[in-house]
Homo-oligomer: A and B are copies of this chain.
Amino acid sequence: MSIHEEQASIEVGEARIAGTFLTPGTLLPGVLFIHGWGGSQQQYIERARAVAAMGCIGLTFDLRGHAQTKPLFETVTRDGNLADVVAAYDCLVQRQHVDGTAIAVVGSSYGGYLASILTTMRPVRWLALRAPALYRDEDWTLPKLQLSQNQDLASYRRTLVRAADNRALQACHHFDGDVLLVESELDTIVPASVLASYREATIRARSLTYRCLDGADHGLSQELDQRAYTDALVKWLGEMLADARRSRDRSAREHDVSVSESPLPRPVQVPDFTEP
């Protein structure tokens, strides 16, 4: 978050004193939340509130085939849902006050799979994947619901998949932003081997934070695990935002130019005068 500084002249009776207003900059990081298959934006609304409280603009949305468009559940394809994700991303970036260079994308399961692919289509700085699912590249335009029958996913997900052989993993392979990977210890839908495939794929990431939620299942059916995931996500994002702020400040100082929203020179910290 950038800081805006503005000189003020304060009236005191007939006199005037000098002041400086310091306000959060007008450009805020944006965070896109992508729910899992069979879910809805409700899964992420509490987390989006927590993230807004950190000074970000969040966007949750319902993938086609879910919530109000539930009738499309049996026919919607990965291609269609990826178009949803891109449309939601564009909607977020076009939103007033959103800093298009500071976008985080957060996805669970099928949403994590789509989030990974999005990074090849739009600029993403931070990528958070919880129990990201994996599908074979084939049948791209087949209804998503049929993949479980057609692709023998259970056995596919028990093997370590090479990045070159999978569109989502390849996206992760090329991604050079920061990554959070969250595993559920007792996940039988997206087992540890899938997380290992994602982890191995993200070799170019600027940073990797990998966490395993002990005792959690795929859907985080325990309230405790929901909270643990929220905590991990919020803490990680807080660290990323602080880091981004520091590096922007440092770069502004090194190049001896003020950051665009901070027109005043950066003064040194002066000790207090000794009060007599």
Contacts and interface: CB of A to CB of B under 8 A. Distances in A.
Interface in A49-69: 49, 51-64, 67-69
Contacts of A4: 52
A12 interface: yes
B20 A109 contact: no
B37 A52 contact: no
A275 interface: yes
A240 interface: no
Copies of the polypeptide in the assembly: 2
A276 B148 contact: yes
Contacts of A8: 59, 61, 91
B219 A274 contact: yes
Contact of A24 (B18, B21, B55, B95): B55
A55 B57 contact: no
A87 interface: yes
A61 B275 contact: no
A85 to B, nearest CB: 9
Interface string A221-233: 1010010000000
A37 B272 CA distance: 8
Contacts of A15: 64, 69
Given A17-B64, A69-B17, A218-B275, A245 B87 contact: no
Interface residues of A, number: 83
A197 interface: no
Contact of A43 (B11, B54, B270): B270
A46 interface: yes
Interface string A108-119: 111000000000
A87 B41 contact: no
28 contacts: A1-B53, A1-B55, A4-B52, A5-B49, A10-B84, A10-B88, A12-B87, A15-B69, A17-B69, A20-B48, A20-B59, A21-B59, A23-B52, A24-B53, A24-B56, A35-B272, A37-B273, A38-B274, A46-B267, A108-B272, A109-B272, A153-B276, A189-B274, A218-B274, A219-B271, A219-B273, A220-B272, A226-B269
Interface of A: 1, 3-5, 8, 10-13, 15, 17-24, 28, 35-43, 45-46, 48-49, 51-64, 67-69, 80, 83-84, 87-88, 91, 95, 97, 108-110, 131, 133, 145, 148, 153, 189-190, 218-221, 223, 226, 245, 267, 269-276
